[in-house]
Amino acid sequence: MNPIKIFSDTNCDLYEEVRQEHNIDLLNFSIYINGEEIALDPDWKAIDDKTLYNTLRSGAKVYILSTTDREIKTKFKKYLKEGNDILYVGCCGKQSKTLFKVIRIAEELREEFPEQRIEIIDSLNASIGQGFVVLKACELVEQGLPLDEVIKQTEAMRNNVTQFVTVESLTYLSKANRVKASTATFGNLFRVKPILYSDAEGNQTAFKKVKGRKQSVDETVKLFLEHVEDPENQVIYIVHGDDIETAKYMKNKILESGVKFKDIKIIVVGAIIGVSTGPGMVGLFGMGKEITTVGK
């Protein structure tokens, strides 16, 4: 049995300390701001989060560039030449085209390295939700399970990732083609705030719509607590787009609820998702009831 190398991408929002602990390598994205390309990482080394979100607020043109074919081939070949199998746990294919790029390149590399396996899992999630799936794969690999069993058990838990997210403005979702421009205009005008989740196929869709910022934040917490399971044995994450005060408010609401978690961590959502959701995005991620609905 070949050793297994776990790969993910910048979308997973797993910080360097965690990646080093579990020997995770990443395919990196870039960000394009006013004509300048900046390499990205989940650790905010190339551009800090304040700069990114202030740039978005200024109305500057910001684009995300996927990892290149060359980077995928170079990084994969390094480990294949060392005799490793590769397991890539990628951002949801419904939200990112990178997964399909990796699938295409994996087909090419399998011919060159017939003794090694290159397998790909669609996490059906993004941000730290994707990170949960990556860490599950790492846990199974570290237990010494064979690759097929790692894939089977990892894929089985993807729809148990519980996430509810709300945004301050629909403008950024519109720019990212996540909602229609007319919907964004109407929603912003009437202060309608969608609460988003990933359905059973990984589509980012509105679970519910609420009027008003505070109401949407409170409802996000309520929905999360209704769907999360086994709270005392898990670490949950509050993610935010440069809105630490609302993130702290969410944490206090959870503490006041009486539901006890192993830990509650607050992190800034990575640039990849942050560009699409914009400043003021807040959300909760944990593990809970299986998601079975599609396009609720």
The pLDDT score that the predictor gives to residue 234 is 97
Can you tell me the mean pLDDT for 287-293?
A: 93
Q: What is the pLDDT of residues 93-130, one digit of tens each?
A: 888 889 999 999 999 999 999 999 999 999 999 999 99
The pLDDT score that the predictor gives to residue 134 is 98
Can you tell me the mean pLDDT for 43-51?
A: 91
Residue 58: count other Cβ atoms within 10 Å of its Cβ.
Answer: 9
The pLDDT score that the predictor gives to residue 186 is 38
Q: Dihedral sign for Cα 154, 155, 159, 163, please.
A: positive
The pLDDT score that the predictor gives to residue 296 is 56
Higher pLDDT, 77 or 175: 77
The pLDDT score that the predictor gives to residue 189 is 39
State the Cα–Cα distance between residues 33 and 62, nearest whole angstrom: 5
Q: What is the pLDDT of residues 125-146, one digit of tens each?
A: 999 999 999 999 999 999 999 9
Grade residue 35 by pLDDT with cuts at 50, 70 and 90.
confident
Q: What is the pLDDT of residues 183-223, one digit of tens each?
A: 434 345 336 788 999 999 998 888 888 989 999 999 999 99
Kindly list the structural domains of the chain, giving each domain's residue range(s) and its CATH number in brackets, ordered by start: 4-158 (3.40.50.10170), 160-287 (3.30.1180.10)
Can you tell me the mean pLDDT for 239-246?
A: 97
Across 46-55, 183-192, 203-212, 245-254, least confident range: 183-192
Higher pLDDT, 172 or 107: 107
Amino acid, single-letter form, for residue 283: G
CA distances in angstroms from 151 to 29, 92, 157, 260, listed in the order given: 25, 16, 10, 31
The pLDDT score that the predictor gives to residue 258 is 95
pTM score, two decimals? 0.94
State the Cα–Cα distance between residues 165 and 195, nearest whole angstrom: 5
Cβ(76)–Cβ(44) under 8 Å? no
The pLDDT score that the predictor gives to residue 174 is 54
Amino acid, single-letter form, for residue 50: K
Q: What is the mean pLDDT of the chain?
A: 91
State the Cα–Cα distance between residues 125 and 131, nearest whole angstrom: 8
Q: Residue 204, by phi and psi: left (phi above 0), alpha (psi -120 to 50) or beta?
A: beta
State the Cα–Cα distance between residues 86 and 83, nearest whole angstrom: 10
Higher pLDDT, 191 or 259: 259
Query: Over pLDDT 70: what percentage of the chain?
Result: 92
The pLDDT score that the predictor gives to residue 179 is 46
Is the pLDDT assigned to residue 261 strictly greater than 60?
Answer: yes
Q: What is the pLDDT of residues 79-98, one digit of tens each?
A: 999 999 999 999 998 888 89
State the Cα–Cα distance between residues 180 and 130, nearest whole angstrom: 26
